[in-house]
Amino acid sequence: MAQILIKKWPRRLISLSGSWLDKALLLKIGIIFSAIIYINNAWSIELLNVSYDPTRELYKSYNQAFIKHWQNQTGEALTIKNSHGGSGKQARSVIDGLQADVVTLALAGDIDALNRYQPLIDQNWQSKLPNNSTPYTSTIVFLVRKGNPKQIKDWDDLVKPGIEVITPNPKTSGGARWNFLAAFAYAKSHYVSDEKALQFVTEIYRHAPILDTGARGATISFVQRELGDVLLAWENEAYLALNEQGGDELTIITPSVSILAQPPVAIVDKVVDAKGTRKQAQAYLDYLYSDEAQQIIAKNYYRPTNPVILAQYAEQFPKLRLVTIDEYFGGWQDVQKKYFDDGAIFDAIFEQINE
Amino acid sequence: MQRTLSKKTVRIIPGFSITLGFTLTYISIIVLIPLFCLFIYSTELSLANWIKLITGKQFLIALSLSLTTALTSALLNAFIGLLFAWVIVRYRFLGRKIIDTCIDMPFALPTAVAGIALTAIYAKNGPIGQLFSIKIAYTPIGITLALLFVTLPFVVRTLQPVIEDLPHELEEAAKILGATPRQTFIYVILPAILPAWLTGFTLAFARGIGEYGSVVFIAGNIPFKTEILPLLIVSKLDQYAYEAASAIGICMLIIAFILLFIMNLIQRRLNRAIVKVR
């Protein structure tokens, strides 16, 4: 109802002003404005890619590559802008009217959410690009202190006495939801029964002294504040932290089982149709699957979906058993409802911990 | 003739209708319409869900945490702020101007920066944190500390002009009439500064309830333990539960309104009492 009200106001204002402003004048202003917009458009076409936090470096290099590629192919000069922030927050900005041509978010659930109030995006968006619209994947790994003093090798080691685990709050962080599911995936593959798996995950959260609101916050707590013994992190974030620290303060540990994190990409249909940028936006996402882009992806520590290029970086991406969301959890919408909604499993875990 | 003249001269700024019109339009756009929309959003939540939300354990614990930390910090700041204001106004010393300027720093500093800095200092291995045997960061003590920092200027800045206006003669007269320093404070100074003091306290308290940026870094955000009410709103938003988020917002608004209203009532009483005494 609020949306309807807000939408109606501007129209009413225009009709009011028409009565005391010369209509011809309004027309002139309109023509000048549209001329400016037209000239601007002819000058250069601008795309806005609304993404989440850890892709900042990735898209910085990818945008350069794509602009060059597009210029060579069509002679058209493109400007690409990027916006980064928490995945859920970014989705909300698009819902509230941020004119994103493409969204490249942390999880499919956040892209599904775009249609919450009005259809912004085709319902079958995920089948429109290869690999469920995921040009790159990642997983959850452990980051431990230099030399691994607490001998943390796999998930079981996290629940040993005296170990402190740093992970953000799944309610406010997309990355934290992946951490939760990674732990669950391990527990389920190990203990089989749901009940025992839940006990294991509860035990892990018992070892969490704090829950930051986002993945970056958790990384700061672990690296700068030197809190805890192990950080559950995106593989690419872990490598970035390693690079910033010079590599001799921290060590990456890859567990035996983890979750296959699939951050998908999609065109925001309503925006590209209004702006007339569908062609460019489509090419922008398609090119993510090209060899050049897949190389850039690997260099930024995301796992490329092209198996040949993934093999070239085998040293950087150790093999482990990767469980998909669909395999154990049955899609994002179910996951959100079953685990993270109010009164769902995550809340129950903390109710139990505080008893 | 004279009456109309005097009526005209009362208005220093010309154009009553324009200025009032501007005021009303401005307050509508900036304050009333957003608040109204908040109410509309929250009406999308059914009554049953409303009740479930505000009787939930998580909400109640977050509410009491927010209220107690805001109250503690506002009370502490009331006394620290009085001391600060007194020192700055009454004494001349080297660096007074610098201290005076420093007091406004929490206003200018992004609250997230303050939060990160405080956490770094008061964490277990931080330069101050390691001096204490108890944990400060990631506990309600840490939250109170962040609020102390953020709300410091309110009390100082509301008291400062009042203390500046306080004539020295009053204290001298009290002294000559044989009042002890304590009596001078309680019967002469306190009544004069009390209304401003209460205002500063109320502002600090209200700000403390709503503060988010600095607190999330030092709170630790453990559900049922160190989760403040504004964080609950953010977590609702991240679940796209706009209605629930605005419902919590409304609850905070109502609490803030009631508090401010009570404070205003007390102040009015006080003012009347002071006028009577005089």
Residue B13 has pLDDT above 70, yes or no: no
Summarize the confidence of residues B259-270 as an average pLDDT. Answer: 86
Confidence at residue A8, expressed as pLDDT on a 0 to 100 scale: 47
Of A307 and A24, the one with more pLDDT: A307
Q: How many CB atoms lie within 10 A of CB A175?
A: 29
Of B56, B224, B235, the CB nearest to A172: B235
CB A267 within 8 A of CB A101: yes
Tell me whether A31 touches chain B (CB under 8 Å).
no
**What pLDDT sits at residue A15?**
46
pLDDT at A346 over 90: yes
Q: Could you tell me if A67 lies within 8 Å of chain B, comparing CB atoms? A: no
Residue B9 has pLDDT above 60, yes or no: no
Q: Which of A289, A29, A6 lies closest to A133 in space, CA to CA?
A: A289
Nearest to A1 among B40, B58, B238 (CB): B40
- Cβ atoms of A193 and A202 within 8 Å: the answer is no
Mutate which of B51, B138, B240, B248 to test chain A, going by most A C-beta atoms within 10 A?
Answer: B240
Residue A44 pLDDT more than 90? no
How confident is the model at residue B53, as a pLDDT?
87
Q: Is the pLDDT of residue B82 over 60?
A: yes
- The confidence score (pLDDT) of residue A181 equals 94
Q: SS3 of A51, please? A: strand
One-letter amino acid at B94 equals L
CB nearest to B235's CB, from A5, A171, A217:
A171
Query: In this predicted complex, what is the ipTM?
Result: 0.73
The average pLDDT across B105-125 equals 89
pLDDT at B170: 87
Question: Has residue A43 got a pLDDT over 80?
Answer: no
Give per-residue pLDDT as tens, B199-218: 999 999 999 998 998 999 89
pLDDT tens by residue, A315-325: 999 989 999 98
Tens of pLDDT along A233-276?
999 989 988 888 766 789 999 999 999 999 999 999 999 999 99
Q: Which residue of A has its CA nearest to B37?
A: A2
pLDDT number for residue B14: 67
Q: How confident is the model at residue A12 (pLDDT cuts 50, 70, 90)?
A: very low
Structure tokens at B180: 């002890």
- A-chain CB neighbours of B41 within 8 Å are 2
What was the pLDDT predicted at A13? 45
Q: What is the mean pLDDT of residues B112-126?
A: 89
Query: Quick one: average pLDDT of A182-211?
Result: 93
Size of chain B, expressed as the number of residues it contains: 278
DSSP state of A302: P
Q: What pLDDT shows up at residue A216?
A: 81
Residue B49 pLDDT more than 80? Answer: yes
For residue B16, what pLDDT is reported? 81
Please name the member of B120, B222, B241 whose beta carbon is closest to the beta carbon of A225: B120
Residue A70 in 3-state DSSP? helix
Rounded distance, CA A134 to CA A126, Å? Answer: 9
**Cα–chain center distance at A256:** 24
Q: Which DSSP string do the residues of chain B spell out, in sequence order?
A: -HHHHHHHHH-SSS-HHHHHHHHHHHHIIIIIHHHHHHHHHHHTS-HHHHHHHHHSHHHHHHHHHHHHHHHHHHHHHHHHHHHHHHHHHH---TTHHHHHHHTTHHHHS-HHHHHHHHHHHHSTTSTTGGG-SS--TTSHHHHHHHHHHHHHHHHHHHHHHHHHHS-HHHHHHHHHTT--HHHIIIIIIHHHHHHHHHHHHHHHHHHHHH--TTHHHHH---TTTS--HHHHHHHHHHTT-HHHHHHHHHHHHHHHHHHHHHHHHHHHHHHHHHHHH-
pLDDT band for position A6 (cuts 50, 70, 90): very low
The 10s digit of each residue's pLDDT in A115-165 is: 988 899 999 999 999 999 999 999 999 999 998 999 999 999 999 999 999
> Residue A64's pLDDT is what?
96
Q: Is the pLDDT of residue B78 over 80?
A: yes
pLDDT tier, A171 (very low <50, low <70, confident <90, very high otherwise)? confident
* pLDDT score for B10: 60
Residues B152-168: pLDDT tens digits?
Answer: 999 999 999 999 999 88
Chain B: residue nearest A205 by CA? B222
Q: Mean pLDDT over all residues of chain B?
A: 88
Distance CA A297, CA A304 (A): 6
What integer is the mean pLDDT of B166-195? 89
- What is the distance between the alpha carbons of residues A59 and A323, in angstroms, rounded to a whole number? 26
Does the pLDDT of residue A86 top 90, yes or no? no
For residue B278, what are its two tokens?
Answer: 């005089």
Q: What is the DSSP secondary structure assignment for residue A336, as one 8-state letter?
A: I
Q: Of A322 and B238, which is predicted with more confidence?
A: A322
A–B interface: beta-carbon pairs under 8 A: 82
| Cβ pair A190, A158 in contact under 8 A | no
Of B146 and B15, more confident: B146
Residue of chain A minimizing CA distance to B135:
A209
pLDDT of B57 strictly over 60: yes
Question: Which of B238, B239, B246, B250 best probes binding to A when mutated, by most A CB atoms within 10 angstroms?
Answer: B238
Exposed / middle / buried, residue B205 (Cβ in 10 Å: 0-12, 13-18, 19+): buried
Average confidence score pLDDT of chain A: 87
pLDDT of B76 over the 90 cut: yes
Two structure tokens written together for B16: 């009553």
**Sign of the C-alpha dihedral computed for residues B18, B20, B23 and B28 taken in this order:** negative
